Structure formats: C-alpha cells, structure tokens
C-alpha cells in the first residue's frame, strides 16, 4: 500500500511539474497575472508530493518491506536504523529520488525566500526549475522506479554495500546533491534572464547568494567524500582522481569561476555574457556528473548496452538541456550590452584571469575523465589517465591562481596603478619568499622544493589578506572595530572571501605536506613485535575476534609510542559483513593537528602474524580543515545583509518599467 | 592606437601566450601519462612495451598464488584463458583479492614477461568484473580459447 502511495505521489508531482513549467512561463510572456500566480502553489504542491514519495521509500526501508525491489536489494533487517535511512540513497533509483526531492526543495526555497523578486522573473525562474524537474521525474518514473514490486518476496534483503555503512557517507550524498541541484537555481536565473532579455546587475545580485549557497554545499560534499575515502577505503588516500570524484569536482570548479564572475557582473555590470555562460556550464557539468556516475557509463561504455533505455534517456535529456540553453544563449547574447569598461590593470582583469584559469582546469579535468571513454569508443585501445597527470596539471596552474588571489582583494575596480599595488604588497612578497626558502630547507622535515613552494604560496595568500584587512579596518581599531565592521552592509561578502581564501592557503599546505612527507610502510608483524615509523614506535599486540551488529571482525591492537611514552592505542579491523560476505578494512587512526598515524590490517599470515600497512600522514587534517573554511566563507558571503536590503531597493527601481505584472512583494 | 589600448593588447597577448604554454605543457604530460591496458594474450604476443607503466588484467588462476617467506611479496598468474602471465607484487593485497577473481594490476613488464605490479585493484563487489577483464575474456573466447575446460565460470 505505502509503495503505491509513493508511486502515485510521484506521478502527481510530475503533473504539477508540467503545470509549473508551462503556465507560469506562458503567463509571463503574454502577461496573464493568473497564470503567473500559479508558479508558487505549483512549486509547493510538487514539493509536497515528492516529500510524500520520499517518506514512503524511507518507511519501506524502516519496516523492511522487501516486496519493494529496491528495498530488497539494498535493505536488511539487521541494518541499524540510521543506515536503513541512508540506504534510501545508496543506489541508483533512490539517489535519483533524493535528487528530485532536493530539487523540489530548492524550488520551494526560491519561491519563499525570493519574494521580493518581480513576479514575472520569479515565475520564469520557477518555471525553468519545473522543466528540469520534469526531466528527472520522468527519468525516475519511466526507467528507474524505486517503488517497483518484486515477486516472490525475499525473506531477507541484499543489504547496503558495507562501504556505505559509515556516518560520513550517510550525509555525503545529500550534501553533494544539495550542491549539484543548487546549480539549477543559478541556471534557472540565467535562463529566466535570457528569456526576459535583461541581463543586468540586478540579475547578478539575485542569483549570487543562491549560487554561493549551492557552491558551499558542493564544497562540503566534496570535502566529506574525501574524508570518507580516507577513513573507509583503508589506503590512506584522500583523493584518487576517480571519474566519480571528478564528476563532482568539475561543477565545483565551474561554480567557483561563476561566483567570481558574478561579483564582477554585480559590482561593475561587466562580463554579463560570460557569467551567463558559466551558469549554464556549471549546471550542465552537474547534470553530466550525476548521469555519468549513475549510469555507469564511466566504468565502461558498455554499461549503455546493459540498460539502453536509461542510457538513451540520459543522452536525450543532456542534449535538450545543453542544446536548448545554448541556442537560447546564442539568440539572446548579441543583444546584451557590454557593460562597464575597465583598464588593462584592474580587479576586473585579475578576475578574468581567475576565470580563465579555472575554466582551463575544468576543461583538463573533463579531458582526463572522458579520455578513456573516447579512446574506447573510437577503438584506440583501453587507457586510463594516471593521477600523476592530474597532480602535475594542478601544480602548473595553481601558482598562477594563487598569485592572482593575493593581488585581487587589494586591487581597485576599473583602474589600478601597478606601482601602488606593488608598494602595498612588498611586505607580503618578502615574507612569502623568505618563508618559501625556509620551507624548502631541511628544518622540520627533510627539505623539499615543493614544500617550499607551498609555504610561499600560502604565506602570499595569508599576508595579502592581512594587508587587505588592515586597510579595511584603518579607521576602526581593535576587536571592537572588527565587530562593528562585521555589522556593516557588504561585510559578509568581504569576510567570506577572507575566510575562503585563507582556507585555500590551509588546503595548499595540507596537500603538499602530506604528499611530500608521507611515510608508508607495508610490514609483517608478529604479536608483541614493534616497528619504527617516522619517529614513532608501533607495537602490535595481536588480533582478537569481535562480533558486530551485522558483521564479524578481526580486531587488531596497535600501541603507538613516542619516546617510550604511549600516546594512543589503535584498533584497526578486518570486517566480514554477514549478508554480502564482503571483507572490509576498517583503519585505526590516531588523529593529530600536524600528523595522523594510520594503521590498516592486511591479512592473517598464520601463527598470529599479520601483514599490515602503516602510514605517517603529516598535515593531512589541514586538507579537510581548508575545505571546511572554504565552505564557511561561502556561508558568510551568502548571508551578507546587503542581499536582503538591496533586493528591496531593486524592486522599487524596477517597479517603474512595467516588469512587475502583479505586485510581487 | 592609444597607449591605453596598446597596454591592454600587450596584456592580452601575454595572457594568451602564458595560457598557451601552460596548455602545451599539460597536453604533453597528458600523452606521457596515458596508461594503456593489455590482456595476457597481448602481453604474450609481445605487444606490451617493457619498462613502461601499463595496466594488465585477467582472472587470478586457481592455485597460483604463492607468498614468499617475507610474508609480503606475492606472486600469482592472471589469465584470459588463452594466455597466462606471472605477476609479482609486494605489499597488502586488496580485500577482495582471491583466486578466480578478476583483477587489474598497474605496473611494469620486466624481461621474461614477469609483470611487477605497483598496485593491484579488485573492486568492492563480488560479482563485479573489471570491464577490461570481461572484454579480454570475451575476445579470447571468440578466438577459440578453451576457457570452459578450465572452469570458465565467472566468479
């Protein structure tokens, strides 16, 4: 009964999505207030029914209703309740349901929070989001129904993949999807603006906070994914340049370019066409990512053949979205004015450089991700692109980005005197060069030119931020001054930028140090035996059996000693999950601010001996700490007071030129 | 041309040049970092270059896994039922490595067709067959390999 309810709710949601995408749009074109007014209730109704469907699937998992095929494949009575809920998005059908659920959530959020938008614009934005929703809902209903029944009903479910039974992964997909789907808001604002033919500062201001919030979620999602991989995969790696990871990283890169470009469009009215194009690109890459991951195309081209219906649907939908939006762009872009002028050396130019670099990096990641697919399809052989290439590419481009990052905040809009800027940045340059030289000398660790480069780049960012802060707080002294400044209009954006850029500096240190000074050791140990690892002594105390809720584990005990003093006891495990009988490595990690000690069990070699993998990972936490700071920066920027105030001002300005069909506020 | 315009033009030219160089470097590195995949048949036929970083894949032959006295170095055979190559690996094998399972190894081919692996991959799914391996088996079978006789069930 409940699964059918969910199914019907999805069908109703699809009908409402049709209403949402047709009537408000037509109404906005021929000025029919009644049709325009349909947008909000339709969005709300769609959300309501998708929420019901989602609730139905959750309840099917919680009650172990194995007559539902999807639950039978991914659920299990022994699964803890938390993982029963997270199993909802553990595989293809359910994760698509989560996708549309979040999409309808964003749609409602826009309809509620963007009340100050002119009704016509709001109707168009919601309408475009409705169109995206149609695509996903029909994909769900016609090819991947999560509520399909199975007969005969199995007595026990197939269980959630043990790898996914981890708190990090329970919240990683929702965060990532919040980001992916959030890009649809930026996309819809861009399409609405193209339809209306009005690409101006007001449009940029409206879509900016939404884009920033979506980008923040994407940042959190990627950071969580990386943290999960480190904890759960047992190989001590935090990023693998896996196609699935790249699929989330490309939209992030494009969105990063977009939020910078939106700043220019909002403040100076320039880069309009470019900004729109980036908004289309970011969402297209989100779609591409979702589909590539979910269709399994990336593991093999032949996955298309295993389910032709899904593959074909994906291709057609992608073509419609990308092709449709690009043709609209081609039709409208020439009529867009070119906006504010700027000199060769100005903040606009630097941000243009930022955009250029980010887009190039995105293109390269796309190349590396799709190359195996292209080679295979053209019969040039089976290849994979080694991660050294991806790494090298980032080493080539990041320094340029960082140089711009240091200069940007201190550079004026429109025109900047280079000599002036050089004087301001002289101290930052000296400190970072000095730090770089010190960093490459063997003082704390053995010397490395790359570590020196990382220290230099990070110091460059930090020092230039400090200089910029000092200038900003010239007339406000001390902490009280800072507090006062935080309350002003526009401060959210500024401090968001400071925190996010600082996060990049932290991230660079983390990445470089862990790659340069990482110590890895594969070893065979007998109980009682000790080994050295980067100045620490690790003593192995044997392995005992342990019974978990839905698995059996071999649990090792490793004592970590520094200077004969015990600092930690680690319990790496080798688990075998009862249902899927998959062995799983659960690593034992001693977490530290400047280093992690990471132990994972290999296999038993008889006589109580085990093979083991030991890692010393310096500064690895800084990677996720940096990611977190970047996300917090996004939150600060999006919460800027001026968006709330300014929207009202814009409204009164727009009220005069007849854009508001029926008073939107 | 006003001086301002000229300045802007120079700046743009510099930017384009810089970006061009960076792209050229990245593309060159791309070509050097492509890792080709070879089946055991291709390796036996001498198609795979020795000393280059490549990937090979196949099923781990039953009864071929031998551990050396240090407990960490392992040798095993992988096969596509037509040909077999010997693989040597030092370190911790992935959780799902076992005889009969399809695996992919990354490493370099030494003289005498010994493949020294730097990394061994077995996906986290018992039913999962690396697509390259599945393809290799299919091709070998088409060419008349006697797969069925050696117990050609896919594990």
The domains of chain B are located at 1-34, 37-146
Q: Are residues A45 and A136 in the same domain?
A: yes
B21 touches chain A (CB under 8 A): no
In 3-state terms, what secondary structure has residue B23? helix
pLDDT value of position B53? 86
Q: Is residue A128 part of a domain?
A: yes
B101-127 average pLDDT score: 79
Interatomic CA distance for residues A521 and A658, integer angstroms = 71
Mean pLDDT along residues A206-227 = 92
Q: With an 8 Å Cβ cutoff, are B95 and A582 in contact?
A: yes
Q: How many Å from the N-terminal Cα to the C-terminal Cα in chain B?
A: 73
* Cβ–Cβ contact B68 with A under 8 A: no
Indicate if the alpha-carbon torsion angle A591, A594, A600, A605 is positive or negative.
negative
Given a contact cutoff of 8 angstroms between Cβ atoms, the answer to whether A539 and A600 are in contact is no
Q: Is B7 on the interface with A (CB under 8 A)?
A: yes
Tokens of A353: 């450089």
A549-584 in b/e form (b: 16+ CB < 10 A) is ebbebbbbbbebeeeeeeebebbbbbbbbbbbebbb
Q: Are residues A533 and A421 part of one domain?
A: no
User: How many contacts does A have with B, using Cβ atoms within 8 A?
Assistant: 101
In this complex, do A609 and B36 lie within 8 Å of one another by their Cβ atoms? no
Whether residue A350 lies inside any domain: the answer is: no
Q: Quick check: A80 and A549 in contact, CB under 8 A?
A: yes
Residue A605 with chain B: CB contacts under 8 Å: 67, 71
Q: How far is the C-alpha of B42 from the C-alpha of B46, rounded, in Å?
A: 6
Task: Determine, yes or no, domain membership for A308.
Answer: no
The whole domain housing A154 covers 1-160
Q: What distance in Å separates residue A601's CA from the closest CA in chain B?
A: 8
Q: Is B1 on the interface with A (CB under 8 A)?
A: no
Give pLDDT, residue A158. Answer: 78
Torsion of CA A648, A650, A653, A656, to 10 degrees: -90
d(CA A529, CA A524): 10
DSSP class per residue in A285-318: HHHHHHHHHHHTTTT-TTHHHHSHHHHHHHHHHH
Average pLDDT of span A275-283: 92
Contact A584, A162 (CB under 8 A): yes
Residues A399-404: what's their mean pLDDT? 92
Q: Does B4 touch chain A (CB under 8 A)?
A: yes
Sign of the CA dihedral running A656, A659, A662, A664: negative
Per-residue pLDDT, A415: 83
CA separation for the pair A278, A262 (Å, rounded)? 9
CB atoms within 10 A of CB A495: 20
B22 touches chain A (CB under 8 A): yes
Taking only the tens place, the pLDDT of each residue in B116-148 is 998 888 764 445 566 667 777 777 777 665 443
B15 and chain A: CB distance < 8 Å anywhere?
yes
Chain A residue numbers with beta carbons less than 8 Å from the beta carbon of B11 are: 344-345, 349
Is A27's pLDDT higher than 50?
Answer: yes
Nearest CA in chain B to A353: B15
Residue A658 has pLDDT above 60, yes or no: no
Q: How far apart are CA A98 and CA A87, in angstroms?
A: 11
Residue A243 lies in a domain: no
Asked if the C-beta of A304 comes within 8 angstroms of chain B's C-beta atoms, the answer is no
What pLDDT sits at residue A308? 64
What pLDDT score was predicted for residue A645? 59
Q: Do B71 and A611 touch (CB under 8 A)?
A: yes
Residue A616 lies in a domain: yes
User: For A146-155, A176-185, A228-237, which range has the lowest pLDDT when averaged over its residues?
Assistant: A228-237
pLDDT at A300 over 60: no
Predicted confidence at residue A623, as pLDDT, reads 94
Both structure tokens of A79 = 């699964």
Determine whether the interchain pair A383/B36 forms a contact, defined as Cβ–Cβ distance below 8 Å. Answer: yes
- Chain B contact for A567 (CB, 8 A cutoff): no
Please tell me the distance from the alpha carbon of residue A248 to that of residue A293, in angstroms, as a whole number: 9
Cβ atoms of A238 and A227 within 8 Å: the answer is yes
Q: What is the mean pLDDT of residues A335-352?
A: 81
Q: Higher confidence at residue A543 or residue B132?
A: A543
B92 at interface of A, judged by CB pairs closer than 8 A: yes
Question: What is the CA angle A504-A479-A475, rounded to 5?
Answer: 95
Query: Considering CB atoms only, which of A345, A385, A522 is closest to B34?
Result: A385
**What are the tokens at B144?**
């008349």
| Residues 44-103 of chain A whose Cβ lies under 8 A from any Cβ of chain B | none
Q: Measured between alpha carbons, how far is A395 from A398 in angstroms, rounded to an integer? A: 6
| A582 and B96 Cβ atoms separated by less than 8 Å | yes
Residue A292 within a domain: no
The torsion defined by the Cα of B47, B51, B55 and B61, in degrees rounded to 10, comes to: 80
The residue assigned the tokens 């709330």 is A644
Most confidently predicted of A141-145, A220-224, A445-449, B126-130: A220-224
Task: From residue B5, give the alpha-carbon distance in Å to each of A264, A353, B1, B9.
Answer: 21, 18, 6, 6
Residue A182's pLDDT is 92
The model's confidence at residue B152, banded by pLDDT at 50, 70 and 90, is: very low
What pLDDT does residue A189 have?
A: 93
Please indicate, yes or no, whether residues A476 and A436 belong to a single structural domain of this protein: yes
Contact A201, A266 (CB under 8 A): yes
Of the residues A270, A384, A388, the best mutation for testing chain B's interface (the one with the most B CB atoms within 10 Å of its CB) is A384
Do A464 and A576 belong together in one domain?
no
Q: What's the pLDDT band for A171 if we cut at 50, 70, 90?
A: confident
Report pLDDT for A481: 76
Three-state DSSP class for A66?
coil
Give CA–CA dist B118/B109, Å, rounded. Answer: 11
| Alpha-carbon gap, residue A521 to A531, rounded angstroms | 10
pLDDT over 90 percentage in chain A = 39
pLDDT value at B49 more than 60: yes
CA distances from A47 to A21, A35, A297 (A): 14, 19, 30
A573, A593: one domain? yes
CB contact under 8 A, B93 and A400: no
Taking the Cβ of residue A519 and every Cβ of chain B, the question of whether any pair is shorter than 8 Å is answered with no
Is residue B108 predicted with pLDDT exceeding 60? Answer: yes
Same domain assignment for residues A434 and A511:
yes
Q: Which residues contact A349 (CB under 8 A, 6 or more apart)?
A: A342, A343, B11
B23, B35, B126 member nearest A384 (Cβ): B35
Nearest-Cα distance to chain A for B21, in Å, is: 10
**How high is the mean pLDDT of chain B?**
77
Query: Is residue A590, in this structure, part of any structural domain at all?
Result: yes
Strand bridging mode A609-618 / A519-525? antiparallel
Question: Residue A644 has what DSSP assignment?
Answer: H
| Nearest alpha-carbon partner for A505 in A551, A548, A469, A461 | A461
Q: What is the pLDDT of chain A when averaged over all its residues?
A: 86
A610's enclosing H/E stretch is strand A609-618
Does residue B16 belong to the interface with chain A, where contact is any CB pair within 8 Å? no
Measured between beta carbons, the chain B residues lying within 8 angstroms of A389 are 29-30, 32-33
CB contact under 8 A, A396 and B25: yes
Residue A305, pLDDT score = 45
What dihedral do alpha carbons A33, A34, A35, A37 form, nearest 10°?
80
User: What mean pLDDT is predicted for residues A497-508?
Assistant: 95
Region A79-98: mean pLDDT is 87
Residue A649: pLDDT band (50, 70, 90) is low
Q: How buried is residue A456: exposed, middle or buried, by Cβ count under 10 Å (0-12/13-18/19+)?
A: buried
Closest CA to A189 of A170, A173, A205: A205
**What ipTM goes with this model?**
0.77
In this predicted structure, the answer to whether residue A432 has a pLDDT above a threshold of 60 is yes
Mean pLDDT to the nearest integer, A183-211 = 89
Q: Do A472 and A553 fall into the same domain?
A: no
* A556: its two tokens: 């090792």
The answer on A8 and A76 residing in a single domain is yes
- In what order do the strands lie in the sheet containing A588-590? A519-525, A609-618, A595-606, A588-590
pLDDT per residue as tens digits for the range A572-607:
988 888 777 777 888 889 998 989 999 988 888 878
* Cα(A108)–Cα(A16) distance, integer angstroms: 13
Distance, CA of B37 to CA of B136 (rounded, Å): 10
- Does residue A290 or residue A462 have the better pLDDT? A462
Whether residues A445 and A529 share a domain: the answer is: no
Number of domains in chain A: 3
The Cα–Cα gap between A304 and A502 comes to: 43
Residue A342: closest CA among chain B residues belongs to which residue? B8
pLDDT tens digits for range A441-489: 877 667 788 889 999 999 999 999 999 988 888 877 777 777 777 777 7
Query: Has residue A198 been placed in a domain?
Result: no
CATH superfamily of B37-146: Nucleic acid-binding proteins (2.40.50.140)
What's the pLDDT score for residue B8? 72
How is residue B10 written in tokens?
Answer: 């120079």
Q: Tell whether B149 is within 8 A of chain A (Cβ).
A: no
Say yes or no: B127 contacts chain A, CB-CB below 8 A: no
A370-380 residue pLDDT tens: 888 888 788 78
- In a shared domain, residues A523 and A480: no
């Amino acid at each position: 009964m409940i699964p059918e309810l969910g199914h019907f709710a999805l069908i109703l949601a699809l009908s409402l999505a049709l209403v949402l995408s047709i009537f408000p749009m037509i109404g906005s074109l021929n000025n029919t207030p009644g049709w325009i007014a349909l947008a909000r209730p339709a969005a709300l109704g769609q959300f309501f029914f998708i929420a019901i469907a989602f609730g139905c699937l959750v309840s099917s998992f919680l009650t172990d209703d194995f007559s539902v095929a999807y639950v039978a494949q991914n659920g299990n009575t022994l699964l803890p309740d938390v993982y029963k809920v997270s199993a909802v998005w553990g595989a293809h059908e359910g994760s698509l349901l989560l996708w549309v659920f979040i999409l309808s959530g964003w749609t409602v959020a826009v309809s509620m929070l963007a009340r100050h938008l002119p009704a016509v614009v709001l109707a168009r934005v919601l309408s475009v989001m409705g169109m995206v929703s149609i695509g996903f809902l029909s994909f769900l209903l016609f090819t991947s129904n999560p509520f399909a029944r199975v007969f005969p009903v199995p007595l026990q479910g197939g269980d959630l993949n043990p790898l996914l039974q981890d708190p990090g992964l329970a919240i990683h997909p929702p965060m990532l999807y919040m980001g992916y789907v959030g890009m649809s808001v930026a996309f819809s604002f861009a399409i609405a603006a193209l339809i209306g033919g009005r690409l101006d500062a007001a449009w940029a201001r409206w879509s900016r906070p939404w884009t920033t919030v979506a980008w923040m979620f994407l940042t959190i999602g990627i950071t969580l994914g990386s943290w999960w991989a480190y904890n759960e995969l047992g190989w001590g790696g935090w990023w693998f340049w896996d196609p699935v990871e790249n699929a989330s990283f490309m939209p992030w890169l494009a969105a990063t370019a977009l939020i910078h470009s939106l700043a220019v469009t909002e403040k100076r009215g320039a880069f309009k066409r470019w900004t729109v194009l980036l908004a289309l690109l970011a969402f297209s890459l989100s779609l591409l990512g979702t589909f590539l991951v979910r269709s399994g195309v990336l593991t093999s081209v032949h996955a298309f053949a295993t389910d032709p219906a899904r593959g074909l649907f994906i291709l057609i939908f992608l073509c419609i979205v990308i092709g449709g939006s690009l043709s609209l762009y081609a039709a409208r872009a020439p009529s867009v004015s070119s906006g504010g002028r700027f000199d060769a050396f100005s903040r606009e130019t630097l941000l243009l450089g930022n955009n250029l670099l980010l887009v190039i990096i995105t293109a390269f990641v796309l190349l590396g991700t799709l190359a195996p697919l292209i080679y295979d399809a053209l019969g040039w052989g089976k290849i994979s692109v080694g991660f050294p290439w991806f790494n090298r590419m980032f080493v080539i481009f990041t320094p340029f980005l960082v140089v711009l990052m240091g200069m940007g905040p201190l550079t004026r809009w429109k025109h900047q005197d280079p000599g002036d800027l050089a004087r301001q940045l002289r101290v930052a340059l000296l400190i970072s060069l000095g730090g770089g030289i010190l960093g490459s000398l063997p003082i704390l660790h053995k010397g490395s030119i790359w570590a020196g480069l990382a220290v230099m780049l990070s110091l460059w960012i930090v020092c230039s931020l400090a200089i910029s802060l000092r200038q900003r707080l010239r007339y406000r002294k001390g902490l009280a001054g800072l507090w006062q400044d935080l309350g002003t209009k526009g401060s959210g954006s500024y401090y968001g930028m400071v925190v996010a850029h600082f996060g990049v500096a932290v991230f660079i240190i983390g990445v470089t140090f862990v790659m340069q000074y990482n110590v890895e050791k594969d070893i065979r140990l007998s109980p009682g035996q000790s080994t050295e690892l980067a100045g620490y002594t690790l003593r192995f105390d044997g392995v005992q059996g342990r019974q978990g809720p839905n698995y059996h584990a071999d649990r090792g005990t490793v004592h970590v000693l520094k200077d004969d003093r015990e600092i930690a006891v680690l319990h790496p495990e080798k688990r075998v999950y009862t249902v899927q009988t998959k062995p799983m490595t659960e690593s034992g990690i001693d977490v530290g601010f400047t280093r992690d000690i990471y132990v994972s069990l290999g296999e038993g070699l008889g006589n109580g001996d085990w093979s083991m993998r030991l890692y010393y990972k310096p500064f690895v936490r800084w990677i996720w700490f940096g990611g977190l700071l970047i996300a917090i920066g996004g939150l600060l920027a999006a919460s800027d007071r001026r968006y709330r105030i300014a929207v009202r001002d814009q409204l009164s300005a727009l009220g005069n030129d007849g854009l508001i069909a029926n008073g939107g506020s | 041309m006003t001086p301002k315009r000229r300045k802007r033009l120079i700046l743009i030219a510099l930017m384009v040049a810089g970006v061009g160089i960076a792209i050229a470097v990245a593309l060159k590195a791309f070509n050097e970092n492509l890792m080709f995949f070879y089946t055991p048949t291709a390796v036996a036929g001498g198609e795979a270059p020795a000393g280059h970083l490549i990937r090979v894949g196949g099923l781990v032959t039953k009864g071929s896994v031998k551990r050396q006295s240090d407990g960490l170095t392992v040798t095993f055979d992988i096969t596509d039922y037509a040909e077999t190559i010997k693989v040597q690996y030092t370190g911790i094998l992935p959780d799902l490595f076992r005889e009969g399972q399809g695996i992919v190894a990354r490493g370099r081919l030494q003289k005498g067709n010994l493949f020294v692996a730097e990394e061994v991959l077995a996906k986290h799914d018992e039913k999962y067959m690396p697509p390259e391996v599945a393809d290799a088996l299919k091709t070998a079978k088409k060419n008349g390999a006697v797969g069925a006789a050696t117990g050609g069930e896919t594990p």
